[in-house]
Structure 1
């Protein structure tokens, strides 16, 4: 049901192709969100410091995930283009190369973090209790990412092929493992005499989930009923394949690096003007916001696969139509979610952080409402960037994201917190996030229209280049 053929993606109904490819990705992404929310749910019952520590190291974890992002975007785009060009052998070889590269890179990063975790976290905050908690969470999850990164890369290969069903299954197994283990490992739920491991338990559950997901991913590669398989004939090293992966993936990594470093600095601003109460509010808001942009992110992944296959098949007009169709529908849905969150922020906080009161509750309610104002922007950002990425133009998405974070978010947050001081300084950082999302949505949409409205637009040129390879 959720396994689309090449002909369906390159010549069938576009709405159906988008829906069938997106639906499992939405489920997959929501399962990931459930994992994040469940972590916060149980850690919120441990201490505010535990919640703050997770929020503190989140940008560091994002930076360490750059190696994975190079492989996942490169694998998804190139597999899609090879399948569109009816070259299954090249698609399988790309998947093998990407998986091996990300496994080696994440193993090296795990060794570095094992050695330097407290120092890395200590750069961001002077609260020793939060630093130790953050270092623990960072260390354990980074070791787990050795398996999680390879699992993510294999998933991206399935999506590029048009099989989002298998990608969903891998994530569901990983996250359900995490969610089931969380209450026992974090607070010792229903285990007499055992109080749990706190934040170490949360990180351990996540790492075990990564291993479970990787096991399913590897098993899926050897099952004939799945579309994307890797056999002995696909093993081997090709410099050209590595070069192609890097040419597509590195700009995306630059995009993610710019995003995560800016996030890190915004976290530092929040901590500087509002302390652990502000960090706790930021963490809850960020996790809840993830619920909102999950559908948009899933649509963006689906668009990149559909555009990639149509570029490979020489159908640039269809690739452009798919991008606009996805952007319009997603923006409408995101606007509805924004209205819902803006209307009931206190209720949301009471569910996910019942111990919050006083200033951290006030900050969190305000942040949820400020975020909701700009939710519609995600409906444009992710599908439009998915269109650029599917065409292999990941540099465009990189530049848009760098401008979003470094041209708008960070300057507005710093100016509002320290120069033109808001009445509540931390609100400057909150509003900077929403303002940057809106600015990026408007800018990237205008650029996509300008680059695709002519007879020899960006996607047409990408299709011509793919045909000449």
Structure 2
């Protein structure tokens, strides 16, 4: 059974359809983030060093995640457009070749990182006391990156078709596996050895494998009939591979430029705030990841809706999907940010009760600063969905390039003293002002707000220039029409 039938995606009430599509995706992302929070929750009972070790590996994992985006999100956009054009065979062909792209690209980066994990962590500037533990966690998690990439790509095909419940089911299976495996392997329950941080990584890996097996079962027609891969679809198609890469590569670049800044910022946090600063930054990053789940769900749903409406030659509806989605997210995130600001101390205590006094104070400060910028952070996701759904993925890349490299990183540099040897990659930082680790927290908030305002202004300009109308022309195999607007 479809969550939303194809006619509703292109003709039904935009707000209702968007919420119905997004609801399972929001639930799926809550489960996904809960899967990540399980490690922090249990390791928070081990000690501050364990939390910091995982925190140091997170930016590297996220940076490598940019390679997953190339195949997974590129595939989703193209499958949605073909679904809107009723091209079932083409959608299946994109799915198979997109999965091949995801597997090849992620394997190419995962293998060297696993082999040289300790060297990678050392380049990041990790404290020698944390380097070995961090490298162990990183190597185990990255080893299963290609598995997760293929699973994400197939899941995105179900999302593109409107079957968002299937994606939720897969994530639920993964978190249940990790929920059991993590504490057993971390603390050593029964015959299982006490593995500490390594146990947390193995639990995460087992969850990824379980999710892949489940979604492949759905794609084979076991318990699901919305999107199905047939034998005929399993053929290498160079043209389709090129198309997936063409759409997905700018999105991978977008993710890469943002995550590289996060890697560098963690180095700044380590210099300016030490272990307490890194632990506080980890708590804030984990909470923010959970907080943006509703926006991410709306983005994924909007991306599929916009792609299908572009394929169905309905540019005005594609634009309305963006504006309605953005308004809903901004309003909701204003309330969410206020809650986080008021209860920052309780959130920090719940997630990591064994933080030192200094670590807790920094975590509370970061949580409050983040909460004040949530409305802009959330709204950015739906605006990016508009450009992605219209295959304007280079715009998303440029937006994040400006947001992270022209705004966030320069402000964050003020945290460290002048002429400090920057821990990440041994770069010497000369423009530091010694403002302390709080400058990094403010840099994150400022880049969120300025990024949203700039992208919103460009969205208005692009739609007046006929962004969606031109995308519909291209999707149908025609030529873009100059001078049109999306209201035509």
TM-score normalised by structure 2 residue count:
0.92
- Name the structure 1 match of 2:460: 449
Kept in 2: contact 1:75–1:94 (CA 8 A): yes
SS at match of 1:123: helix
Q: Distance in 2 between matches of 1:343 and 1:423?
A: 29
CA-to-aligned-CA distance 1:57-88 (integer Å, 9 cap, x gap):
11111122222110111111000000011101
Distance change (3 Å), C-alpha of 1:195 and 1:353: farther
Q: Distance in 1 between matches of 2:192 and 2:382?
A: 46
SS at match of 2:55: helix
Kept in 1: contact 2:97–2:236 (CA 8 A): yes
- Name the structure 1 match of 2:441: 430
CA-to-aligned-CA distance 1:363-400 (integer Å, 9 cap, x gap):
11111111111011123100110111011011111111
Q: Distance in 2 between matches of 1:183 and 1:202?
A: 8
Q: After superposing the two structures, state which structure 1 stretch, 410-419 or 249-258, moved more.
A: 410-419
Kept in 2: contact 1:422–1:428 (CA 8 A): no
Q: After superposing the two structures, state which structure 1 stretch, 142-151 or 74-83, moved more.
A: 142-151
SS at match of 1:17: helix
**After superposition, where does 1:377-456 map in structure 2 within 5 Å?**
377-418=376-417, 425-452=436-463, 454=464, 456=465
Q: After superposing the two structures, state which structure 1 stretch, 323-332 or 7-16, moved more.
A: 7-16
Poorly superposed stretches of 4+, deviation over 4 Å? 192-195, 419-424
- Name the structure 2 match of 1:25: 25
Equivalent in 205, 208, 212 of residue 206 of structure 2 = 208
Kept in 2: contact 1:54–1:134 (CA 8 A): yes
SS at match of 1:46: coil
Kept in 1: contact 2:178–2:203 (CA 8 A): yes
- 2:33 paired with 1:46: no
- Name the structure 1 match of 2:104: 104
Kept in 2: contact 1:307–1:391 (CA 8 A): yes
Q: Distance in 1 between matches of 2:407 and 2:105?
A: 32
**After superposition, where does 1:49-448 map in structure 2 within 5 Å?**
49-188=49-188, 191=189, 196-223=194-221, 225-418=224-417, 425-448=436-459
Q: Distance in 2 between matches of 1:194 and 1:298?
A: 36
Kept in 1: contact 2:276–2:356 (CA 8 A): no
- Name the structure 1 match of 2:482: none
Q: After superposing the two structures, state which structure 1 stretch, 318-327 or 145-154, moved more.
A: 145-154
Question: 1:422 Cα deviation (Å)?
Answer: 6.9
Question: 1:193 Cα deviation (Å)?
Answer: 8.0
Q: Distance in 1 between matches of 2:415 and 2:45?
A: 33
Q: Distance in 2 between matches of 1:66 and 1:426?
A: 27
Q: Distance in 2 between matches of 1:427 and 1:240?
A: 49
Q: Distance in 1 between matches of 2:313 and 2:192?
A: 61
Question: 1:415 Cα deviation (Å)?
Answer: 2.7
Distance change (3 Å), C-alpha of 1:9 and 1:194: closer
Q: Distance in 2 between matches of 1:216 and 1:160?
A: 18
SS at match of 2:251: helix
Gaps of 5+ in 2: 419-430, 479-488
Question: 1:344 Cα deviation (Å)?
Answer: 1.2
Q: After superposing the two structures, state which structure 1 stretch, 335-344 or 456-465, moved more.
A: 456-465
- Name the structure 1 match of 2:473: 464
* TM-align CA RMSD: 1.6
Q: Distance in 2 between matches of 1:141 and 1:399?
A: 29
CA-to-aligned-CA distance 1:312-354 (integer Å, 9 cap, x gap):
0000000000100000011111111100010011111111111
Q: After superposing the two structures, state which structure 1 stretch, 52-61 or 124-133, moved more.
A: 124-133
SS at match of 2:416: helix
CA-to-aligned-CA distance 1:91-120 (integer Å, 9 cap, x gap):
011011111222233333332122110000
SS at match of 2:125: coil
Distance change (3 Å), C-alpha of 1:418 and 1:462: farther
Q: Distance in 2 between matches of 1:247 and 1:403?
A: 21
Q: Distance in 2 between matches of 1:390 and 1:230?
A: 23
Question: 1:417 Cα deviation (Å)?
Answer: 3.4
Q: How many residues align?
A: 465
Distance change (3 Å), C-alpha of 1:192 and 1:92: closer
SS at match of 2:321: helix
Question: 1:16 Cα deviation (Å)?
Answer: 2.0
Question: 1:165 Cα deviation (Å)?
Answer: 1.0
TM-score normalised by structure 1 residue count:
0.96
